[in-house]
Structure 1
C-alpha cells in the first residue's frame, strides 16, 4: 500500500508521517550528566541540575529531568550495607585556619539538635547552633554569618544528611565559591574531627545537664563552647587549649610568610595534622 493511500485510510497527515526530528543529540550534555551522576551517586536530577548550571550549562530543569531518565540515572534504593567505592576522604590541607571546616549535628534527649562547626586545623568550635529544627536554609544563614567573622574556608566537610545536601546548600556553594566535600556513606570517621567534638559535647555537657528550655540550652551551650576553646585541655594539641595553642603557633608564621586572603592568622603546623585515608 502506498503512503498516500495508508494516510488516507487512517486519516493521518503525510507531513507528520515524514517528519524527522531536528533536535540535537546533546552528546556532550549527556556525557557531562553521566559524569556528575557517577561522582554524586545519591543525587537526583534536581541537584545534578544545579551542578550543571554551576558549571555554565544553562538548560531547562525539565530537559535535565528528561535526559536523566533516558540515561537511566535514577537513584536506586539500597538493599544492602552501604559501601564506599575508592578513597573519598578529603586530602590533607595546609596547616592554616579556615582551610577546612567540618559540620555535623548532635541530638539531645530534650528534642533539640545542635549544628556544630569545627575548624579541622585549630580544633576550635566555630559555632554551636541549638534549635528544634535546622533546615538547609538555616545552615546557609549560619555559615554566611560565620564567614563574615572569620573569612571564607577552603573546604567544608560533612556527611550526606538531607539538610547538608539540600538545594539551598548546593546553590550557596556555587554563589560564594566554596568546595563542599561529602564523606562516603557509612564512613563517619572521614569526618572524625567533628565526630570527636560531638562525643565530647555529649559526654561533658548534654548528658550532664538538664536543660529547662531552649533559651537555657543556648546559654549553657555557648558557655561550654567558650570553655572548650579557652579552658579545656585538648589532648591532640599537647593538652593545651585551642586558644593557647593558636597563640603559640601564630608566632611560627612571620607576616611575610602569611598567605593573603585569610581572615585570621596561620596558627597550626603541618606536622600536627593527621592524615586519614578510607579503606577500599
Structure 2
C-alpha cells in the first residue's frame, strides 16, 4: 500500500517498524477449500468470472448503547470485491429484495448467489424474486460456514480492521464509518490473490476484457426490470 502511494520502502524496514509498534494481525492456520468437490451430494461451484458467484452473509456488532447492528455483506467471489455492505438494525426478505434490485441495476445480475440457510435468504419473497430472473441459489450445508469461505474470510478482515477498532455511537455513525472502510477495501487494499491489484482494479480489468459477458448481463438486467415491476410492493 505504501509503494502504491509513492513511498520508496523495502519489506525489512516496514516489518521492523511493524514489530516495534506492536502491530500484529493474528495468524490463522490455512484451511483447504474444496470448492468444486461434492459434499453431501451437493456440487459446489467455483467462480469462473465476474458476476458468476456472489456470496452473501450477515455479521453483527453493537452501538455503545448495547443495541444490535446487523450488517449484510455481499461479495463477488471472483474479484473479491465487496459489492454491498449494508448496515441496519434489522433485515427482512423484503429488505433483501429491495437491496438486490438496487445492486443488480448498478452491477448486473449474477449467475448464482451463495448463502447459508438464514430466514432472510430462504424466504419465499427472495426465492420467488431470484427464480423469476433466473439467478441460481447455492445454499451451504447447515453448520458449515467454511463452505462460504470467501465471505467468511472477508468478515475476518472486516472484524480485525474495522469493527474491533471502532465504537459506534449511533447507527448513522456506523453506516458512515463502515461505508468508508468498504471504499478503502475495494479501492486501496491490494490483494496477493489478485496479483497485488485492489478488488476494484481487478474487476475493472476483467470487465474490460469480457464484452460478451457484459452484453449478456445487460440483457438479463432488462429482464430484471420487467420482473421487479410486476412484483407486489
Is TM (by shorter chain) over 0.5? Answer: yes
User: 2:134 aligned with 1:181, yes or no?
Assistant: no
Q: 1:93 to 1:197 in 2, by over 3 A?
A: closer
Q: 1:86 — aligned with what?
A: 40
Correspondence list, 1:239-278, <5 A: 239-249=196-206, 253=209, 255=211, 258=213, 260-263=215-218
**Who is 2:176 aligned against?**
219
CA distance change for structure 1 residues 204 and 141 in 2, over 3 Å: closer, same or farther? same
Q: Which residue of 2 aligns with 1:103?
A: 56
2:10 match: none
Moved over 4 A (4+): 248-251
* Residue in structure 1 matched with residue 23 of structure 2 by the alignment: none
Task: Say whether 1:122 aligns with 2:79.
Answer: yes
Hey, what's the Cα distance between the residues in 2 that align with 1:122 and 1:244? 9
Relative to structure 1, the CA distance from residue 123 to residue 221 in structure 2 (aligned partners, 3 Å threshold; closer, same or farther) is same
- Distance in 1 separating the partners of 2:39 and 2:198: 37
Deviation readout 1:143-186 (Å, 9 max, x if unpaired) = 11100111111000000111111111112122222111111111
**SS at 1:208 equivalent:** coil
Please state whether the residue corresponding to 1:260 is helix, strand or coil. Answer: helix
Highest CA radius of gyration, 1 or 2?
1
Aligned residues of 1:89 and 1:190 also touching (Cα < 8 A): no
What CA distance in whole angstroms lies between the structure 1 residues aligned with 2:214 and 2:106?
Answer: 18
Structure 1 alignment gaps of length 5 or more: 1-83, 264-280
User: Any unmatched runs of 5+ in structure 2?
Assistant: 1-37, 219-233
Among 82, 106, 114, the alignment partner of 1:157 is 114
What corresponds to 2:160 in structure 1? 203
Tell me how far 1:189 sits from its aligned partner: 1.4
Q: Contact (CA 8 Å) 1:107, 1:114: kept in 2 or not?
A: yes
2:47, 2:77 within 8 Å by CA — same for their partners in 1?
A: no
Query: Shift in Å at residue 136 of structure 1?
Result: 1.3
Q: TM-score, normalised by structure 2?
A: 0.70
Return 117-126 or 236-245, whichever deviates more: 236-245
Call closer, same or farther: CA 1:128–1:254 in 2, change over 3 Å.
closer
Counterparts in 2 of 1:240 and 1:184: CA distance versus 1, 3 Å: same
Partner residue of 2:189?
A: 232
Q: Equivalents in 2 of 1:220, 1:98: separation in Å?
A: 27
How many residue pairs end up in the alignment? Answer: 177
Root-mean-square deviation (CA, aligned residues, Å) is 2.0
